Amino acid sequence: MRTYRLEIRLIQVAVGLAVIILIAGFAGFWGQGEKVPEVSTNPGVTADDSTLSNTKIVALGDSFTLGYPLDPEYSWTTRLAEVLQVTVVNKGKSYQTAKDLLNRFDTDVVNEKPGRVIIFSGIGDALQGVPLSEVQTNIKAMVEKAKSNHIIPILALPIEYPGVREAINETREWELAYAKEEGILTLDFSTALFDSEGKYLDGLTIDDKYPNAKGYKAMGDYAAQVLK
């Protein structure tokens, strides 16, 4: 009798194991079609391809992007192209605000079909007394234009300029918060040009307003380090 009960128990255990194996098999089969893809934390870079297929960069900005008061060949964009060995299109113009950059975004950025765009604005706005709310609206519009055209936006924070420190600091603080919220990479050229008091490092400026050739080279080296 005991042997009979033992046999029944063994049969029950075997049936239970078979059911478990069968359920696991079905779960694995149906799960194959619902595999969740890996998510990349780097905007514009997929989990399957950590390298940009389009390495072309457009730098959109004011006189600090142009390389003023020197020739564009001494600009930070030229140095960036040399270090990274990629095409960097300099779309800097003097006396530009964020609205000016937005107005020529389609022509100077979208038409170039780059993989990334560096938006360097804020200094001209501060000098011309443009309200921060307007600067915000225009920068957001450029970011959206970039994204809608499959271009990765990068925000370059405005740097120190005599007489408008408060306005520039307000823009910097907002851009940092906005970039963090949107997952946008930022460039802070201040780290390459200024000391802790906001003064140009020795040998990097012409007139305490604009970088000299050595200063623009330092900007390019810094950008290359961040974007490599």
Structure tokens given for 171: 């823009």
Please report, as a single letter, which amino acid is at residue 71. D
Q: Which of 32-41, 65-74, 81-90, 187-196 has the lowest mean pLDDT?
A: 32-41
Q: What is the pLDDT of residue 36?
A: 34
Question: Are 37 and 28 within 8 A, CB to CB?
Answer: no
- Collapsed DSSP state (helix, strand, coil) of residue 156: strand
Q: What is the pLDDT of residue 3?
A: 46
Give residue 204's pLDDT band: very low, low, confident or very high (50, 70, 90).
Answer: very high
Structure tokens given for 217: 């080279």
Q: DSSP state, 108?
A: H
Q: Are strands 185-187 and 152-156 parallel, antiparallel or unpaired?
A: parallel
Q: What is the pTM of this model?
A: 0.78
Q: What is the pLDDT of residue 16?
A: 54
Give residue 51's pLDDT band: very low, low, confident or very high (50, 70, 90).
Answer: low
CA dist 15 and 70 (Å) reads 84
Structure tokens given for 194: 């200024």
Structure tokens given for 199: 């003064």
Whether 178 has a pLDDT exceeding 70, the answer reads yes
Q: What is the pLDDT of residue 6?
A: 44
Q: What is the pLDDT of residue 95?
A: 95
Whether 88 has a pLDDT exceeding 70, the answer reads yes
- % of the chain residues with pLDDT over 90: 77
Average pLDDT over residues 108-114: 99
Average pLDDT over residues 38-48: 35
Buried b (16+ CB within 10 A) or exposed e, 147-177: eeeebbbbbbbbbbbeebeebbeebbebbee
Q: What is the pLDDT of residue 27?
A: 44
Residue 194 sits at φ, ψ, to 5 deg, of: -120, 155
Whether 49 has a pLDDT exceeding 60, the answer reads no
Query: To the nearest whole number, what is the mean pLDDT of the chain?
Result: 86
- Residue 203, CA atoms < 13 Å, CB-side half-sphere: 3
Q: Which CATH architecture has domain 57-227?
A: 3-Layer(aba) Sandwich (3.40)
Q: What is the pLDDT of residues 116-157, one digit of tens each?
A: 999 999 999 999 999 999 999 999 999 999 999 999 999 999
Q: What is the pLDDT of residue 224?
A: 99
Q: What is the pLDDT of residue 141?
A: 99
Closest of 87, 86, 92 to residue 60, by C-alpha? 92
